[in-house]
Amino acid sequence: MKGNELFDIEGRKAIVTGGTRGLGYGMAEGLMECGCEVVIVGTSDKVFETADEFKKRGFSCHGVKADFSVREQVYRGFEQCIEKLGGDVDILVNAHGIQRRHSAEEFPIAEWDEVMNVNLNSVFILCQEAAKIMLKKGYGKIINIASMVSWFGGQTVPAYSAAKGGVTQMTKEMSNDWIARGINVNAIAPGYMATKMNEALLDEKNPRYQQITERIPANRWGTGDDMKGCCIFLASHASDYLGGAIIPVDGGYLVK
C-alpha cells in the first residue's frame, strides 16, 4: 500500500462515545474531516444538537443518547449506533468517562461503582459487541482512552485510576485475542487536557495547576484537536501492525 493510501479512512463507519465535548468531540470531528460516517454518543439531548451542528457543516453524523452507568443502556445504545450505521462498524472510539474526586478513605462506594461501570465495564461491553461484528469481516479498529494514571497513581481519584488501569490492561489482552483476526486494539493516553473533566484543576491560581503546567515540556494543556492525529492513525491502515499500544499524547509530560 502506498504511503498516501495508508491514512485514507474515507467512507469508514465509526462510533465515538463521549463525542459531544472535549476529547471525544475532537476525535469525532477529525474522523469526519477524513470522510468517515460517525455516530456520536452522549448522555443528554445535547448529543442530537451536536450531531445536527456537524451535519450543517456537511459531515455525515448521527446522535445516540445513552447512560453508560446503566448496563442495559450500554447494550441498547450500541444497538442504536449500529442501526444508524446500517448494520456495520469499522472504528470504535471509547472516549466517554466520568470523574469523582475524594481521598481514598472517604471515597463513597456508590461513586466507586458508578465510575467503574462507566469507565471500565461499559468499555468492555462496547469492545465485545463491536468485535462480534468486526470479526465476521476480519477488519476493525478499536481505540480506547487510557490516561496518565495508567502509569501514575494519581491523587483523590482511586476509582478513576483503577478503571483506567483496567482499560490499559484490557486493551493489551484484547489485542492478543483479536489482532491475528484483523482487529487492532490500541489506546491513547491523554496528558493533562483543558476539558470539563479537569475543570477543578484549571484555575490558574491553583498551585496544582501551576505544578502540572511547569512539568509539561510543551508548556500548555492539551485540547481535543491534539487527539485528532493519533486517532486518525489508529483508525487507519497505517496502524495495521500495531497492537496493544498505549500511546501518550501528553505534551511530553511522561518523559520529564
- Nearest partner of 38 among 249, 251, 242, 228, judged by Cα: 228
Beta carbons of 185 and 144 less than 8 angstroms apart: yes
CA–CA dist 149, 144 (Å, integer)? 14
Query: Which CATH entry fits the domain spanning 3-249: 3.40.640.10, 3.40.50.1820, 3.30.1360.120, 3.40.50.720?
Result: 3.40.50.720
Angle, helices 109-116 vs 158-178, to 10°: value is 30
* In the predicted structure, residue 198 carries a pLDDT above the cut 80: no
The residues spanned by each domain of the chain are 3-249
Cell representation of residue 101: 474526586
Cell representation of residue 53: 451542528
What value does the mean pLDDT of the chain take? 96
pLDDT attached to residue 20: 97
Of residues 162 and 205, more confidently modeled: 162
Across the range 83-108, mean pLDDT stands at 98
* In the predicted structure, residue 79 carries a pLDDT above the cut 80: yes
Pairing label, strands 37-42, 183-190: unpaired
Q: Which of 32-41, 127-136, 197-206 has the lowest mean pLDDT?
A: 197-206
Q: Which of 25-34, 64-73, 211-220, 232-241 has the lowest mean pLDDT?
A: 211-220
pLDDT attached to residue 168: 99
Beta carbons of 148 and 192 less than 8 angstroms apart: yes
Kind plus residue range of the DSSP H or E element containing 61: strand 61-65
* In the predicted structure, residue 182 carries a pLDDT above the cut 90: yes
* In the predicted structure, residue 196 carries a pLDDT above the cut 80: no
Catalytic annotation, residues: 160
- Nearest partner of 130 among 249, 15, 3, judged by Cα: 15
